[in-house]
Amino acid sequence: MPIGFHPSVEQYLETLYDLSEDGEIIIQARLAERLRHSAPTVSAVVKKLIQDGDITKSGRTIILTEQGLKRAQSVVRKHRLAERLLTDILGIEWYLVHEEAGLLEHVISDRVEQKIIEITGTPSTCPHGNPIPGLQGKRNTAEFRLIHGQEHKTYKLSRIGEILESDTQTLNLLYNWGITPSKNILLKSKTKSDDDTSQLLTVQTIKGINIINSKIAEQLWVI
């Protein structure tokens, strides 16, 4: 494990980075929801991160400091490189690598990180399309969530949000439906769900027509 890091702290830094990457306003309640941790646990870790100089607070909003951003980027980079290693070199199934990489990211040294970069060909994104910080990976500023797309228009999938990456069952479905980064998606229609609480999107890919709910569509970033 890299010196000065602790898995639970790394997990929080990674989550803070993921939320900020998606343009979310970060508050403790959102951290608790994403990590499924109790409010007292989140409060204790947030207090430690403030003491360590990794975050500041403006009202209820949590903001990564320059130091915190660098540490968060290091964790995220190792996680996404580990995903590349698992898929590109070891042949692990696309929908399983997020969970496996979550275990590896805490024990990858800087030396091993550089070796992974070499053998994977200096990738700019993870297998799910998310940019790898520090390796020329940048978020496409033109991308938006599929839920906001227009009917009868075709979009290219840019990346899959981190929330879906941890949902192996949904990822497996998306893979089988041809909903993967760089693939085209035709948004055929939007309809209300039976209980009128969400939307159902009918989409078409080269593998056929399927229906996804708004929770999934919110995590599909397209251009």
CATH number at residue 149: 2.30.30.90
Asked whether residue 137 is domain-assigned, the answer is no
Q: Is 155 domain-assigned?
A: yes
The single-letter code of the amino acid at 212 is I
210 contact partners, CB below 8 Å, separation of at least 6: 177, 202, 203, 204
Closest of 10, 56, 55, 66 to residue 35, by C-alpha? 10
Q: For residues 35 and 11, is the Cβ–Cβ distance under 8 A?
A: yes
pLDDT of residue 42: 92
| Greatest extent of the chain over all pairs of C-alpha atoms, in Å | 53
- Provide the CATH number for the domain around residue 82: 1.10.10.10
Instruction: Tell me if 168 sits within 8 A of 196, measured CB to CB.
Output: no
Q: Would 135 be classed as within a structural domain?
A: no
Q: Assess whether 26 and 94 both reside in one domain.
A: yes
76 plus 33 within the same structural domain: yes
216 is in which domain, residue-wise?
144-222
Based on the fold, state whether residues 155 and 188 are members of the same structural domain: yes
Per-residue pLDDT of the chain (223 residues; tens, 9 = 90+): 343 445 578 899 999 999 998 888 999 999 998 888 999 999 999 999 999 999 999 999 999 999 999 999 999 999 999 999 999 999 999 999 999 998 898 889 999 999 999 999 999 999 999 999 988 767 888 999 999 999 999 999 999 998 899 899 999 999 999 999 999 999 999 998 777 678 999 999 999 999 999 999 999 999 9
Rounded alpha-carbon distances, angstroms, from residue 101 to 81, 88, 187: 8, 13, 32
The number of folded domains in the chain is 2
Residue 36: inside a domain: yes
Which tokens go with 35? 């990590």
Q: Given 128, 152, 177, which residue is the final one in a domain?
A: 128
Residues 192 and 112 in one domain: no
